């Protein structure tokens, strides 16, 4: 963090002209000129990136929407977008000779950091939010990091980790780590080239600490600086109403994000009452004509169900805020037929099975002898 303004540090822009190496297969090698790395060690990769951009045809038809694409980050190695940032941060750590890494996490970043730490042979420390879901805890434990579930304020834990890191030589690559943010740029570059260098009208993404959306925006700012595009997409950050400090600051025209006292939402992965990157993100959104929305838990769960039923994508509630945000915005502004819309879906629904209600599952029963009759009655 900057000792003067106390905001997260970001990597400076290089003075040299940068270029893409699209003939490479590794995403980090393709966009190496745009990353704070001198070279890529392929032995540290788990195969992150190159995730599909899917057109949501059935959803578009049912809701009369312009072209909507889904950037499916759930197919990353640890089933979430965090792998993008972790891959770059671990590359940097190893290049600097760092032996211990760590993170503070609600779940997704925990498993991602633990996995990449295991791949690199680094001693990994994971400080967990007290109410982490059992599913995410079990996933993270498989990589055998040092796990510590911490009681107390999550925001204070975030800052305390840096003090612990300095004392015990642990590089805590937390949510707004500058190298992690640079890794998130790769998702933005992929979107641009998957759309054949067309600029989306809107890009929707969930928000928690702010680091992910900062990275996505910096990708398109890089594209603009290098002359690939003339203007940016409209970035739309989406928060859950039960924990929406950045959305509240945006709605009231403030330049600073105020910590909220109580966070209550089903979207646990984006439940951060004191987002460390909130002020920087708010400034970027305001300077580049972006938007910030909040959506209710009901809207989040409905969007999660829609994505599964219409498009076969099962995402966690935090991810479905992107779709819920699109549906909310489409009721407020007129979308043109040629608008390109991208939803960044950040994590798999398999990571949040605890939110599903078994009582709502429609399961018919039949004996083997009555099975044909049951099927016939369904088809009538």
* DSSP collapsed to 3 states, 120-144: HCCEEEEEEECCCCHHHHHHHHCCC
What is residue 358's predicted lDDT score, i.e. its pLDDT? 67
Give 261's contacts (C-beta < 8 A, 6+ positions apart): 273
CB 206 within 8 A of CB 270: yes
What is residue 8's predicted lDDT score, i.e. its pLDDT? 86
Burial 214-250 (b: 16+ CB within 10 A, else e): bbbbbbbbbbeeeeebeebbbbbbbbbbbbbbbbbbb
- From first to last of its 380 residues, the chain has per-residue pLDDT tens of 777 777 888 998 888 899 999 999 999 999 999 999 999 999 999 999 999 999 999 999 999 999 999 999 999 999 999 999 999 999 999 999 999 999 998 788 999 999 999 999 999 999 988 877 787 888 899 999 999 999 888 778 888 999 999 999 999 999 899 999 999 999 999 999 999 999 999 999 999 989 999 999 999 999 999 999 999 999 999 999 999 999 999 999 999 999 988 888 988 888 888 899 999 999 999 999 999 999 999 999 999 999 999 999 999 999 999 999 999 999 999 999 999 999 999 999 988 887 777 667 888 899 999 999 999 999 98
Cα angle value 158/164/169 (rounded, 5°) = 125
What angle, 0 to 180 degrees and rounded to 10, lies between the N-to-C axes of helices 108-120 and 134-141? 0
What is residue 7's predicted lDDT score, i.e. its pLDDT? 86
CATH no. of 53-76+180-356:
3.40.50.1100
CB 318 within 8 A of CB 268: yes
Burial class from Cβ neighbours inside 10 Å (0-12, 13-18, 19+) for residue 50 reads middle
CB 321 within 8 A of CB 239: yes
pTM summary value:
0.93
What is residue 342's predicted lDDT score, i.e. its pLDDT? 98
What is residue 374's predicted lDDT score, i.e. its pLDDT? 93
Domain spans of the chain? 53-76+180-356, 80-172
- Fold of the domain spanning 80-172: Rossmann fold (3.40.50)
């Amino acid at each position: 963090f900057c000792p003067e303004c106390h905001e997260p540090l970001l990597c400076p822009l290089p003075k040299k002209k940068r270029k893409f190496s699209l003939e490479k297969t590794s995403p980090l090698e393709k966009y190496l000129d745009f990353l704070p790395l001198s070279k890529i060690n392929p032995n540290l990769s788990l195969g992150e990136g190159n995730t599909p951009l899917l057109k949501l045809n059935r959803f578009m038809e049912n809701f009369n929407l312009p072209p909507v694409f889904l950037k499916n980050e759930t197919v990353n190695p640890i089933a979430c977008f965090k792998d993008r940032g972790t891959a770059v941060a671990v590359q940097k750590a190893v290049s600097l000779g760092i032996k211990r890494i760590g993170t503070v996490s609600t779940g997704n970043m925990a498993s991602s950091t633990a996995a990449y730490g295991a791949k690199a042979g680094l001693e990994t420390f994971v400080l967990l939010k007290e109410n982490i879901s059992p599913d995410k805890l079990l996933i993270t434990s498989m990589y055998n990091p040092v796990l510590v579930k911490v009681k107390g304020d999550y925001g204070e834990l975030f800052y305390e980790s840096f003090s612990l890191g300095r004392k015990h030589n642990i590089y805590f690559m937390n949510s707004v780590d500058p190298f992690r943010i640079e890794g998130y740029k790769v998702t933005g570059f992929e979107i641009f080239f998957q759309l054949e260098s067309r600029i989306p009208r809107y890009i929707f993404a969930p928000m928690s600490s702010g680091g992910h959306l900062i990275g996505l925006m910096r990708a398109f700012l890089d594209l603009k600086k290098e002359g690939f595009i003339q203007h940016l997409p409209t970035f739309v950050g989406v928060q859950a109403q039960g924990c929406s400090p950045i959305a509240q600051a945006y709605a009231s025209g403030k330049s600073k994000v105020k910590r909220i006292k109580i966070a209550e939402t089903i979207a646990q992965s984006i439940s951060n009452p004191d987002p460390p990157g909130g002020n920087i993100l708010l400034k970027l959104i305001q300077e580049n004509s972006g938007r910030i929305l909040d959506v209710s838990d009901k809207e989040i769960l409905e969007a999660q169900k829609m994505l599964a039923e219409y498009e076969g994508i099962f995402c966690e509630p935090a991810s479905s805020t992107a779709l819920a945000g699109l549906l909310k915005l489409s009721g407020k502004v007129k979308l043109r037929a040629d608008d390109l819309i991208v939803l960044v879906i950040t994590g798999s629904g398999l990571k949040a099975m605890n939110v599903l209600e078994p009582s709502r599952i429609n399961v018919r029963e039949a004996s083997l002898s009555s099975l044909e009759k049951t099927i016939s009655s369904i088809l009538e």
